[in-house]
With several copies, the nearest count.
Chain A
């Protein structure tokens, strides 16, 4: 069952097409970010920049001037919220997942868990808004962390459960037989075994939180709490005539998740497989 020449050509053709389709828009974004402003308003477009212009990156990465301050504080807020929510969500999800996986907590409850995040955010946003408002908690990173944690939790629990399910139960039983308690067993036996799953879950959670826009749009209003997606939306709608600036913000905002995704590509597969393939 060898491949014929025609088949090979077809195969490589499709592969190239796919590569172009997936990377094309990203490459273009990157090119825009380093093209001179005038290159970007030529008709028809110049695909290769006439000169390399890294000025947007310098200005975005320095605290001088409005753009840099806006971008950097949004970056800080995004890292804080996504990171904080990921950590807390995992801390809560691991015991919960253990309960679902090993203590026969009802699956119906797990699905109730899941159903909550599947509901559109507009279902929750107004009461949450009023509540946080009455506690004076709007426009705080903590508030977003709370909301994101809740948003990530079911998903993280589900992934962790699916992954704990496939761990050999005998190893835990062995620990119990040796006299260890549940907490000790989870810490010393389950967690080390589930480390790849935890990494996958953490990464997927982080990406989801990093991506969130709706709550951030409504719950934050200034530099102290605004996250990157909201900042980018502001950037792109405001008085920015240089598309290169928008493009460079986009590139910078994509870098962290893209690096994570590529670095943890194997984990995504295992995470997703355990999660969605196994159910």
Chain B
């Protein structure tokens, strides 16, 4: 739960709490962020992502804790004094002003002189390729263009920190991909420090230098996308990240010599048996047996290993499974298998010659396995 504390953090949140009346919306948040980092906040709806962003911006008062930006304690400063910029999901463009005035609004408020302001707006417009739109009103822009203007307004002041609250969720799928690349490019060009809220996992995975996963106002895990995806600290993170999500099957593990024997019950008969030659849960001593949650992602249960002959009995093992439902979905075919008390999904190749009700061999990639405590859900 503790992130590495960078030296000279651009943003340092310590023991932050936020209550609305009796409801504790944010609980003891500690986040430290290095300059130039791209920090992505994810979590289920209502977990407090927007509230946290709002606290950082100063739009919402916090109940306790401190917020330091670029080394200065800003906990009690007005939003205007914190030298941050924010991009809203709704873009929040001023409908009655031209694009130019929208972008230059922050400078206008700060009474930056006209020529200077024009120059800066032009610079940003150039960066975002919206020079030709400067004289339009927001209502005359497409979604993507509005998104760019909103970013322009944030960029023009060259603030210390950028906050983005689901900036792409109002765009259609194709445009979202384009704008995602755009944001990545701008981050690389400007080296800005960004806190970014999203509920799109691909966005989180591809943009973040680090991801913060939250649940019910508590930070669950902070780490690089790979850490989060491959080594989720608990069942919640495992389930939350990835689509289709990780299969969390209940089974037993017994430490036998250099491996663990895993037994996962099936409804139709004998349990599925697999052997994990990795280190396994530390808590399990030699000869010990434990019931636990076994996590395997759909892409670790596939037919590809079979085709490529990669079955080695160690990291890739094969077992016959009964396919409950088969859904061809174009690029892949998903097969549902009743395993360990859940409807486990296996990702097969698109042209896998299988139908529902068949028993077929499935390759399990045990190098990708995770174990969680059944009661607490914590990684073992």
Q: Is any CB of A less than 8 Å from a CB of B in the complex?
A: yes
Partner pick for A2 among B61, B92, B95, B105, CB 8 A cutoff: B61
B85: Cβ under 8 A from any A Cβ: yes
A176: Cβ under 8 A from any B Cβ: yes
Partner pick for B90 among A170, A177, A180, A189, CB 8 A cutoff: A170
A42: Cβ under 8 A from any B Cβ: no
B73: Cβ under 8 A from any A Cβ: no
Contact with A along B55-75 (1 / 0, CB 8 A): 001111100000000000000
Tier of interface size on chain A: 10 to 19
A181: chain B residues at CB < 8 Å are 80
Interface SS of chain A: helix, strand, loop or mixed? helix
A188: chain B residues at CB < 8 Å are 94
List CB contacts (< 8 Å) of A167-187 with chain B.
Answer: 168, 170-171, 173-181, 184
A1: Cβ under 8 A from any B Cβ: yes
Q: Assess the B106–A178 pair: CB atoms within 8 A.
A: yes
Q: Assess the A171–B80 pair: CB atoms within 8 A.
A: no
Minimum C-beta distance from A3 to chain B (A): 11
Q: Assess the A177–B93 pair: CB atoms within 8 A.
A: no
Contact with A along B29-64 (1 / 0, CB 8 A): 000000000000000000000000000011111000
B78: Cβ under 8 A from any A Cβ: yes
Asked whether A170 and B92 contact (CB < 8 A) given A1-B61, A176-B79, the answer is: yes
B153: Cβ under 8 A from any A Cβ: yes
Q: Assess the B80–A177 pair: CB atoms within 8 A.
A: yes
Cα(A177)–Cα(B59), bound, Å = 8
List CB contacts (< 8 Å) of B96-155 with chain A.
Answer: 96, 105-106, 109-110, 153
Q: Assess the A173–B109 pair: CB atoms within 8 A.
A: no
Cα(A173)–Cα(B79), bound, Å = 9
A171: chain B residues at CB < 8 Å are 92-95
Asked whether A189 and B86 contact (CB < 8 A) given A176-B79, A178-B105, A179-B106, the answer is: no
A193: Cβ under 8 A from any B Cβ: yes
Q: Assess the B90–A1 pair: CB atoms within 8 A.
A: no
Cα(A192)–Cα(B80), bound, Å = 22
Closest to B165 in A: A170
Q: Assess the A174–B86 pair: CB atoms within 8 A.
A: yes
Closest to B95 in A: A193
B339: chain A residues at CB < 8 Å are none
Q: Assess the B61–A179 pair: CB atoms within 8 A.
A: no
B229: Cβ under 8 A from any A Cβ: no
Cα(A137)–Cα(B319), bound, Å = 97
Q: Assess the B61–A177 pair: CB atoms within 8 A.
A: no
B59: chain A residues at CB < 8 Å are 1, 173, 176-177
Cα(A2)–Cα(B60), bound, Å = 9
List CB contacts (< 8 Å) of A216-274 with chain B.
Answer: none
Q: Assess the B92–A176 pair: CB atoms within 8 A.
A: no
Closest to A173 in B: B59
B84: Cβ under 8 A from any A Cβ: yes
Q: Assess the B80–A179 pair: CB atoms within 8 A.
A: yes
Partner pick for B105 among A168, A170, A175, CB 8 A cutoff: A175
Q: Assess the A177–B57 pair: CB atoms within 8 A.
A: yes
Minimum C-beta distance from A102 to chain B (A): 11
What 3 A-B pairs have minimum CB-CB distances, sorted nearest first? A192-B96, A170-B92, A178-B106
- 7 residue pairs bridging A and B, Cβ less than 8 Å apart: A2-B61, A170-B90, A176-B59, A176-B78, A177-B79, A178-B153, A179-B110
